[in-house]
Amino acid sequence: AQSVTQLDSHVSVSEGTPVLLRCNYSSSYSPSLFWYVQHPNKGLQLLLKYTSAATLVKGINGFEAEFKKSETSFHLTKPSAHMSDAAEYFCVVSEPPPSNTGKLIFGQGTTLQVKP
Amino acid sequence: SAVISQKPSRDICQRGTSLTIQCQVDSQVTMMFWYRQQPGQSLTLIATANQGSEATYESGFVIDKFPISRPNLTFSTLTVSNMSPEDSSIYLCSAKSGTEAFFGQGTRLTVV
């Protein structure tokens, strides 16, 4: 069965320092992986996605993630944190073929705090 | 892309009553989903809303409690029936367009 594990429930960084949010996945197939961000009282927004193309994926707002099959990881990074990055981040895996139901399986989430 | 409008955005309801949440997509989509996000927790899939047929429910969710309609390719409703305080959550509608899933703003439900 598909699953994702976000290794940190809470990450705190100073503004201008790098961000690392860790995610490991479990999948029987080559997975499709996503990172979503949820700002307080707002909907979910897709940051980036991996769908078996380039292993280094660039997303919006300076975020990127690298798919590492050998480590079953899909960590999210950003070189320099901004105050507006403070939010909840979800690592997500989609159900693989052949079911192709489009269902998403969410990790538990990581709260990113950015200190001035 | 797809823009999803969900209403109401929030509601406070009495226990034992029911609330119907509406989800409108600005384009035709093949797949629509309903998720629940309990306080301080991640999203859990309730069901897949199938156009023209009964919804497909995930383990732990039943049609009597969460009846779903999907009359066409752009609209769906989720009803939370016979509510109890444990149903207090954010309920989110999602639609898949291409390889990407889009989400509504969510409905924040408080049951008192």
Residue B96 has its nearest CB partner, among A43, A44, A102, at A102
Give the distance from residue A108's alpha carbon to the nearest chain B alpha carbon, in angstroms. 5
Q: Which pLDDT value is given to residue B30?
A: 85
A41 to chain B: closest CA residue: B105
Range B4-102 classified under CATH 2.60.40.10: yes
Rounded CA-CA distance A19/A81 in Å is: 6
The owner of tokens 């439900």 is B109
Range A3-115 classified under CATH 2.50.20.10: no
Identify the DSSP state of B98: T
Task: Tell me: pLDDT of B90 over 70.
Answer: yes
Sequence-distant (6+) residues with CB within 8 A of A28 are A1, A2, A96
Residue B48 has its nearest CB partner, among A49, A101, A106, at A101
Rounded CA-CA distance B99/B111 in Å is: 35
Domain extents for chain A? 3-115
Rounded CA-CA distance A73/B100 in Å is: 20
Q: Which pLDDT value is given to residue B106?
A: 93
Q: Does A103 touch chain B (CB under 8 A)?
A: yes
Q: Which pLDDT value is given to residue A99?
A: 58
What are the structure tokens assigned to B103, written together? 């989400």
The owner of tokens 């093949």 is B30
Q: Does B92 touch chain A (CB under 8 A)?
A: yes
What value does the mean pLDDT take over residues B12-35? 95
- Going residue by residue through chain A (116 aa), what tens digit of pLDDT does each one get? 778 999 999 999 999 999 999 999 988 777 889 999 999 878 899 999 998 778 899 999 999 999 999 999 999 999 999 999 999 999 999 876 655 667 889 999 999 999 99
